[in-house]
């Protein structure tokens, strides 16, 4: 399917038009129509709210580093990949194997799925979860760092450097 066919089959708003306030909204400062509304997890990400048990169904990965690392991991089964035009070009330029045909979407589509605070960078993947470790399998002298609801993946690096 050509890019032209993919674009014409898309039924959503045209990209562009939003500017300066968008980055502020993604980093927690609410303005405009979002001002005064509660912040929290999107129901799309909250499987328990939709009646699914933990560990059941796909996990949602988003952001450049999270998704490209998942694509590079042969143990990770990618079910669906949603990318913006710019990201599709970057993936091609960097010769990153997507392993599944990406679906071309507009940034607003990913915003609607994840919520206004998610820093998705134009990239979202649905994938099977990786098998987890039981606490007994961790080394006795190991360190466990538990994080929840990190909205900017760059914060994880800062947390690890300072932990």
Q: Domains plus CATH for the chain?
A: 3-35+56-132 (3.30.1330)
Rounded CA-CA distance 37/66 in Å is 28
Separation in Å, CA 74 to CA 33, 68, 81, 97, 127: 42, 12, 16, 11, 12
Rounded CA-CA distance 53/45 in Å is 13
CB 85 within 8 A of CB 15: yes
CB 91 within 8 A of CB 138: no
Question: What's the chain's average pLDDT?
Answer: 74
Per cent of the chain over pLDDT 70 is: 64
pLDDT in tens, 65-91: 999 999 999 999 999 999 999 999 999
Q: Alpha helix (H) ranges present in 20-136?
A: 21-26, 64-72, 85-93, 107-114
Which tokens in the block code for residue 69? Answer: 């690392």
| CA 70 from centre of chain | 11
pTM: 0.55
Flag whether pLDDT at 30 surpasses 70: no
Handedness of CA 96, 26, 152, 161 (dihedral sign): positive
pLDDT of residue 85: 96
């Amino acid at each position: 399917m050509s890019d032209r066919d993919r674009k014409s089959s898309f039924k959503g708003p045209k990209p562009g038009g939003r500017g300066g306030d968008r980055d502020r909204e993604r980093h927690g400062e609410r303005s405009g129509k979002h001002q005064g509304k509660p912040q929290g997890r999107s129901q799309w990400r909250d499987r328990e709210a939709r009646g699914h048990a933990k560990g059941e169904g796909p996990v949602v990965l988003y952001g450049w580093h999270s998704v490209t690392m998942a694509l590079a991991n042969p143990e990770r089964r990618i079910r669906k990949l949603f990318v913006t035009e710019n990201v599709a070009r970057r993936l091609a330029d960097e010769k990153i194997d997507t392993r599944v045909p990406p679906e071309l979407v507009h940034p607003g589509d990913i915003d609607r799925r994840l919520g206004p605070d998610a820093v998705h960078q134009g990239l979202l993947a649905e994938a099977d979860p990786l098998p987890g470790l039981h606490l007994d399998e961790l080394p006795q002298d190991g360190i466990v760092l538990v994080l929840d609801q990190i909205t900017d993946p760059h914060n994880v690096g800062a947390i690890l450097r300072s932990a």
